[in-house]
Each structure stands twice: as structure tokens, then as C-alpha cells.
Amino acid sequence: MIGNYINSELVPVTSDRNLPVTDPATGKVIDQVGLSSVADTEQAITSAEAAWPAWAQMTPLNRSRILFRFKALLEQNMDELATLISREHGKVHSDALGELTRGLEVVEFACGIPHLQKGEHSRNVGTDVDSHSMLMPLGVCAGITPFNFPVMVPMWMFPIALATGNTFVLKPSEKNPSAALRLAELLTQAGLPPGVFNVVQGDKESVDVLLSDARVKAVSFVGSTPIAEYIYSQGSAHGKRVQALGGAKNHLVVMPDADLDQAVNALMGAAFGAAGERCMAISVAVAIGDEVADKLAEKLTARIRELRVGPGYGQSVENEMGPLITDDHMKRVSSYIDAGEAEGATLLVDGRDYQVPGFENGYYVGGTLFDHVTPGMTIYREEIFGPVLSMLRAQSLDEALTLINEHEFGNGTAIFTADGEAARRFSDQVEVGMVGVNVPIPVPMAFHSFGGWKRSLFGPLHMHGSDGVRFFTRMKTITTRWPKNQQQQADFVMPTMK
Ligand code: NAD
């Protein structure tokens, strides 16, 4: 039974509620995960609260040295961690290694905390008066994370939270709970004191404790939009700062002057990598003009038919795409394909009822392509989170911009073109948080910040980079004058500097 990690120890969940953990490649149950009770979750918060004063007082340099050791341990254990991710998530091994690298980069960024947390100083804001601002830690922070990046998304949060002097309670996805525990063990091995990083396995019951317990000062969330909205409203109502990243529907615009082979390569990786279970996956291709659309449809159809789909581990030639996360999700994605057909889109490649020899009970959906999708269709409006690419035809860049800007989500988008002016206009006018120019998945590096617009993000601050440092700290500004220069009489007007 997979349990919690509290005070540097693996501890069992005390509730009698649990869920099976399956290997999506085979459909076999490989373990059970306990679902924490209110008391289990409170125990983790108590441990994090007790550890906070000493951790907050440790010098940033020494906190950073622990993170440097954690980084080295991650590097030594990359292969084992990638295998763990692949076993419970399904993504192929090289993709799991990519996820780890993107998480590791946030650790590398957080290692620079002595510089990042220096604050600001002004000499002589008035005569003989100086002012400085300090970035102070908040206390206990919580992270609630989705199934699709069991290592990277937690590592968007906790390296910066810990580096800035906070303690942390992570509530990973109940669908793939093991990687978080391995990260906790590596942090302890790196020298992190007990209680500074804790893991509670669970579902809504433990999340609701993290949202309402007054000892938790900040909540960082990544997951689907309805839950992100719930987390934002509940966490804010309880006086916490919250950043809640939600779902997506990312469009890639192919201009008539784009190199079509490059665009096809980009679309294949961005739509079908990780079986489309990425918040930055491209799920909509917008072809400008029917000529581009016809050629794209032909080239994509041929390539999708050749996709190597199967288990993410244990193959002599690695597959390009693994299974979906659960049986339910596989059925849900298939039902979206049913809906697309019923609503009149042209189904060019159908991934339903996909069979992988030897893995008949795995949760596979093959690569799927729709053409002639229109904005009113369910498959266009909703996030499918599977290997289903919808193609829309627009007659101009302006029409494409209108389409994207009218969509509920605004996480990522991309344009493929050889025209600098078009790319600049697109980047400027598109209402989306992360934009790629001839880059299909424009995930910002760790030292920039990650976040969408519209209903893809609730809260003002993005993840990691300078926004991450601001999210996990509060500013204190100190204005100083030394006694021999003190004023001699009371002053009843609003103070101004002389
Ligand atoms: P999810 O919303 O179902 O779950 C996310 C987390 O919330 C999990 O830890 C889960 O246990 C918890 N949760 C679920 N239901 C809850 C409830 N009713 N009350 C309280 N907590 C609850 O998301 P998922 O299926 O794990 O992940 C896929 C989603 O995440 C997709 O929508 C995807 O776009 C999104 N995502 C977004 C980003 C981003 O950066 N914007 C990144 C990765 C994934």
C-alpha cells in the first residue's frame, strides 16, 4: 500500500479508503494507494509547521547547497525515476527523461536563491534615510498536482518554495503516486531536515484540508480547469495566496509560406507525444488556405498511420506513443471521437479500438485526425487530453487570431511561418500566455515563468522563474534613520522625504 511521507519517514495512511494504481500499458493493478484522512493531512501540516522556523532561519546559501546535492542525486537516479514515471503514467522512457530534465532545470534555477532572494536597497531615499525590501518566506506551502507530469509539475513548485525558506506539503495525483515519494527520499538523502518536505496521498478530502487549514499560507495547483477554479476560489476565501493552472486547447497556425515538412514534424510531436496528455500539447491545427490544409491533411494522415504505439518501457525499439492513463480516460477520448464524427467533422485517421499485440488490456487509443472541424463542435470547444488532432481551415491570419482569441483557454499556441511581420503580429495580438514562433511547444525555461491566460490560469503569478520567487515570498520594506538625525518635534502631515 502506497502511503505518505511525513517528517522524513514513510508512514501508512490511517483511513480505510484506497484506490488501485494500474500500469496503463497492461491494464494490470500494480499497487494500491491510501487516501489520506483529515487527520493524516493535518499531521503533514503539523510536521511542516514545526520544521518551518529553523528552515526559514537557515542561510539561503546553505539551503541552496542542499538543493545542489538534490540535483546531483536526481542526475544519478534519472533512469530509475523515468522507469517509475513510465510504469504508472504510461509515457515512453525518453519522454519521461525529458520531463525529468525540465524539472531538474527548476532545481538548478532554485540553486541560485542567494542571488534571487537578495531583495532591493536604496540609499538616501530621504536625507540620511535608507530603505530596503526583503523577500521573506511565507510558512507552510502546499502543492496539488496532476497525473500527467508526476515529477516535473511538483518540481515547478517545491524547489523554489523550499529555496526561499518555506516548508511544503505535496498532494500528488492519486493515479501515479510513487514518484513523489522517491523525490521525498532523495531530498532527505540530500540533507533536507525532517518535516521540510512532506507528501500526502489522497483526493478531495485531503485537498479540502490544505485549502481550509489556516496554517497553510499558499497553494499552488495544476490540473483541470473546473478544479483549478474551485481551488482558487476556496483557497482565496480562506485567505491564502493561490496560483491555479488549468486546462488548455492549444492551436498551431500553419501559414502558406511555412515549410510544410517542418510543420508536419512539429505537429506530430506536439499532438501525439505523451499521447496528447500534455497541457501544452497541440490539439488544433489551423491551416491558412485550403491548399495548405489539403497538403497538411495528406502528409499528416500518412505519418499518423505509421505511429509506433505501445508500452513506454521494455521495448527493443522505443515506441513513439504510450497508452492513456486509465480505462475511463481511454473511453472518454473514444467518446470524443464518436462526437466529432456525429457532429460532421471528417475523420481521416481513427484511433478507436486500437490493439497492441500482447498488450490487449492496455489503455491505448491510436493517433486520430479530424479535418473540417468547426468552432461549434464539441471536439473543438473541449479539452480532450488524448491523441486527437483537429484541423480547422481559416482563410487569413486575422481569422485564425479571432478563432484563438475567442476560445475559452489560452495556455499555449504557435505559428509556423517564414514571414517575420506575420509572426510579430501574431505574438502581439494573440490572447495566450505562451507563444511559439516556429516552436511547437513553447514551454518557458525554468528562469522564465510558465502560465496561460483566460481560463487556463487563475491568479496573477505564473509558475517558476521570477514569478515563482514572488509567489513563495512576501515583501517587507524597512525604512531606516539613525537617532542622531531624528526630527525634534512631532509632525502631523503625511510624511514626505526631505
Ligand atoms: P485533475 O484536475 O483531475 O486533478 C488534479 C489534482 O486535483 C489531483 O491531485 C487530484 O487529486 C485533485 N482533484 C481532483 N478532483 C478534485 C476535487 N473535486 N476536489 C479537490 N481536488 C481534486 O487533473 P488531472 O486529470 O490529474 O490532470 C489533467 C489536467 O491537468 C488537464 O486538464 C491538463 O490540461 C491540466 N494540466 C495543466 C497544466 C498547466 O500548466 N496549465 C499542466 C499539466 C496539466
**Strand pairing class (167-171; 197-199):** parallel
CA of 325 to the centre of ligand 1 (A): 13
In this predicted complex, what is the ipTM? Answer: 0.98
Is the shortest distance between the CB of 463 and ligand 1 below 6 Å?
Answer: no
What is the reported pLDDT for 498? 75
Could you tell me which residues come within 8 angstroms of residue 96 by beta carbon, excluding any fewer than 6 positions away?
81, 82, 83, 85, 86, 89, 312
Ligand 1: does its nearest atom lie under 6 Å from the Cβ of 245? yes
Burial 376-396 (b: 16+ CB within 10 A, else e): ebebbeebbbbbbbbbbbbee
- Quote the distance between the C-alpha of residue 51 and its chain's center: 27
Does residue 170 line the site of ligand 1, with CB under 6 A?
no
Q: Using a 6 Å cutoff on CB, does residue 379 contact ligand 1?
A: no
Ligand 1 pocket test: pick from 145, 148, 411, 432 the residue with the most ligand atoms within 8 Å of its Cβ: 148
Backbone φ, ψ for residue 480 (5° rounding): -125, 130
Q: Which of 147, 204, 227, 381 to mutate to test the pocket of ligand 1 (most atoms within 8 A of CB)?
A: 227
Any ligand 1 atom below 6 A from CB of 410: no
Hey, which of 222, 229, 233 would you mutate to test ligand 1's pocket, going by the most ligand atoms within 8 Å of its Cβ? 222
Cell of 234: 476556496
At residue 487, the pLDDT reads: 67
Question: Could you give the CA distance from residue 419 to residue 259 in angstroms, rounded to a whole number?
Answer: 11
| Ligand 1 closest atom vs CA 246 | 41
In whole angstroms, what is the distance from residue 409 CA to residue 248 CA? 5
Question: Does 144 contact ligand 1 (Cβ within 6 A)?
Answer: yes
Rg of the chain (C-alpha set): 25
Residue nearest atom 43 in ligand 1 by C-alpha distance: 279
Q: Determine which residue's CA is closest to atom 10 belonging to ligand 1.
A: 173
Ligand 1 closest atom vs CA 245: 41
The rounded distance, in Å, linking the Cα atoms of 194 and 216 is 18
pLDDT at 331: 98
Question: Rounded to the nearest 5 degrees, what angle is found at the Cα of 83, between the Cα atoms of 19 and 80?
Answer: 115
| pTM of the entire predicted model | 0.96
Nearest by Cα to 392 from 298, 249, 287: 287
What is the full per-residue pLDDT of the chain (498 aa) written as tens digits? 999 999 999 999 999 999 999 999 999 999 999 999 999 999 999 999 999 999 999 999 999 999 999 999 999 999 999 999 999 999 999 999 999 999 999 999 999 999 999 999 999 999 999 999 999 999 999 999 999 999 999 999 999 999 999 999 999 999 999 999 999 999 999 999 999 999 999 999 999 999 999 999 999 999 999 999 999 999 999 999 999 999 999 999 999 999 999 999 999 999 999 999 999 999 999 999 999 999 999 999 999 999 999 999 988 889 999 999 999 999 999 999 999 999 999 999 999 999 999 999 999 999 999 999 999 999 999 999 999 999 999 999 999 999 999 999 999 999 999 999 999 999 999 999 999 999 999 999 999 999 999 999 999 999 999 999 999 999 999 999 987 756 677 888 888 877
Q: What is the pLDDT of residue 361?
A: 97
Backbone angles phi, psi at 42, to 5 degrees: -65, -35
The alpha carbon torsion through 162, 460, 208, 148 (nearest 10 deg) reads: -70
Q: Looking at ligand 1, which residue's alpha carbon is closest to its atom 42? A: 279
Q: Give the residue numbers annotated as catalytic, written as ranges.
A: 279
Query: What is the distance in A from the centroid of ligand 1 to the CA of 227?
Result: 7
Long-range contacts of 91-96 (CB under 8 A, 24+ apart): 91/274, 91/275, 91/277, 91/312, 91/322, 92/312, 92/313, 92/318, 92/319, 92/320, 92/321, 92/322, 93/312, 93/313, 93/318, 94/318, 95/273, 95/274, 95/312, 95/322, 96/312
pLDDT value, residue 316: 82
Q: Please indicate whether residue 203, judged by its CB atom, sits closer than 6 Å to ligand 1.
A: yes
**Residue type for position 95:** D
Strand partners, 495: none
- Residue 232 Cβ < 6 Å to ligand 1: no
pLDDT at 485: 59
